[in-house]
């Protein structure tokens, strides 16, 4: 047997020297093994060639069994490693893992973000109101960007009519609460982020409690009562608010932060429009890709806010017209007579 093993080592050495492929080396070793087995089976016991190649078939079968077990163990470990995701460090831990460094490499090489900016994103806590048309793309890109903690508030369930624009949800999750559908989708994109689903309606009684633990609020709700509630609560807590809205072919977005002398939402829209002047998406329709554009803008503004990159839409409102491919900015200012933030007063 020793002679055969020596020949096998020579074959492997020559294969390495001549850079032969693993397949070629394996084929040569298979031929050698087949020849040895034929010798053990066909030649009589005591034959010199049979003795030189191991002496008995039983010895070779035991040897091959041991080798097979070792090979199965190694292959099994490799299969398990491929199936198990890379270890996920605690979201708030200091250093990035190698897995995270590769994941966020395109951010880290950006001069405006870099490693320090990515660390700020990892420590950031963002609350998104609504997991629908605007919330879907915003949540997708916040998770992909590595925002450490993302809260989601929504009391609705996924319906078939949502899927034309709410890209975070899929057909087989119809009927599931949107926050849990969103959690599944976001965890599939980035297991390094923490998702906090709040399957409930935002009310005056619970708004402050839910928002107080977050650094930034994104409002993608589809009704004025919720928008005014979110704005009032953000003003009371001193939290910045990125608010966006869409209808048919047009969208708008701004960052409201009266704590830094920027207007609040009520400064720009002191009263809700009369019934019929601002119909909902269900009533007026909406082009499916529009919330994708505006919701992505919300994520962009959030990333800029935390990293300090560029200039956020504070004191400005961006209006995007998808039908004609136009965008324009409007200057918005704080109102001294604002019932919510005027003169720095918090809400009652």
Angstrom distance (rounded) from CA 11 to CA 317: 73
Structure tokens at 255: 């960052």
Q: Which of the 8 DSSP states describes residue 222?
A: S
pLDDT value of residue 94: 54
pLDDT in tens, 148-170: 999 999 999 999 999 999 999 99
Whether the CB-CB separation of 256 and 241 falls below 8 Å is answered with yes
**CB contact set of 278 (below 8 Å; sequence gap of 6+):** 224, 247, 272
Domains of the chain: 2-83 (no CATH), 98-344 (3.40.50.720)
Q: What is the pLDDT along the chain (348 residues), one digit of tens a residue?
A: 677 677 777 777 777 777 777 777 778 778 777 887 787 777 777 777 767 777 777 777 777 787 788 878 887 777 766 655 444 443 344 578 899 999 999 999 999 999 999 999 999 999 999 999 999 999 999 999 999 999 999 999 999 999 999 999 999 999 999 999 999 999 999 999 999 999 999 999 999 999 999 999 999 998 999 999 999 999 999 999 999 999 999 999 999 999 999 999 999 999 888 776 666 767 778 999 999 999 999 999 999 999 999 999 999 999 999 999 999 999 999 998 999 998 544 443
pLDDT value of residue 277: 64
Angstrom distance (rounded) from CA 309 to CA 316: 17
pLDDT in tens, 98-124: 999 999 999 999 999 999 999 999 999
φ, ψ of residue 72 in degrees (nearest 5): -65, -40
Angstrom distance (rounded) from CA 196 to CA 150: 6
Q: Which residue has the tokens 């394996």?
A: 26
pLDDT value of residue 287: 94
Please, what's the b/e burial string for 167-198 (b: 16 or more CB within 10 A of its CB; e: otherwise)?
Answer: bbbeeebeebbbbbbbbebbeeebebbebbbb
Q: Which residue has the tokens 């849990």?
A: 180
Whether the CB-CB separation of 240 and 256 falls below 8 Å is answered with yes
Whether the CB-CB separation of 298 and 134 falls below 8 Å is answered with yes
Angstrom distance (rounded) from CA 215 to CA 19: 57
pTM for this entry: 0.72
Q: To 10 degrees, what angle do helices 135-145 and 290-307 make?
A: 40
Helix residue ranges per DSSP H, 18-96: 22-42, 48-52, 57-83
φ, ψ of residue 20 in degrees (nearest 5): -70, 150
pLDDT value of residue 276: 64
Angstrom distance (rounded) from CA 340 to CA 258: 10
pLDDT value of residue 347: 41
pLDDT value of residue 171: 96
């Amino acid at each position: 047997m020793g002679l055969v093993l020596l020949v096998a080592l020579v074959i492997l050495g020559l294969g390495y020297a001549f850079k032969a492929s693993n397949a070629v080396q394996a084929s040569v070793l298979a031929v050698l093994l087949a020849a040895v087995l034929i010798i053990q089976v066909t030649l009589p016991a005591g034959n010199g060639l049979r003795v030189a190649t191991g002496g008995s078939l039983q010895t070779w079968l035991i040897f091959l069994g041991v080798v097979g077990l070792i090979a199965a163990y190694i292959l099994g470990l490799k299969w398990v490693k491929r199936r198990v995701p890379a270890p996920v460090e605690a979201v708030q831990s200091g250093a990035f893992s190698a897995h995270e460094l590769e994941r966020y490499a395109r951010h880290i090489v950006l001069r405006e973000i870099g490693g320090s900016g990515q660390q700020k994103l990892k420590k950031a806590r963002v609350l998104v109101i609504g997991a629908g048309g605007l919330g879907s793309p915003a949540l997708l890109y916040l998770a992909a960007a590595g925002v450490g903690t993302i809260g989601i508030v929504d009391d609705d369930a996924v319906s078939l009519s949502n899927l034309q624009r709410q890209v975070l949800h899929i057909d087989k999750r119809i009927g599931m609460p949107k926050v849990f559908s969103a959690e599944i989708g976001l965890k599939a994109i980035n297991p390094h982020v923490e998702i906090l689903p709040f399957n409930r309606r935002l009310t005056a009684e619970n708004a402050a409690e839910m928002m107080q633990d977050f650094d930034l609020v994104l409002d993608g709700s589809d009704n004025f009562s919720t928008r005014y509630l979110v704005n009032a609560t953000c003003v009371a807590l001193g939290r910045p608010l990125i608010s966006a809205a869409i209808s048919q072919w047009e969208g708008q977005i701004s960052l409201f932060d009266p704590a830094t002398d920027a207007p609040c939402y009520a400064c720009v829209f002191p009263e809700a429009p009369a019934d019929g002047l601002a119909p909902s998406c269900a009533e007026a329709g909406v082009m499916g890709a529009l919330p994708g554009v505006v919701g992505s803008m919300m994520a962009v503004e959030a990333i800029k806010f935390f990293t300090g990159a560029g200039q956020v839409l504070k004191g400005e409102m961006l209006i995007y017209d998808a039908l004609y491919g136009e965008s324009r900015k409007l200057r918005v200012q704080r109102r001294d007579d604002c019932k919510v933030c005027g003169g720095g007063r918090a809400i009652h």
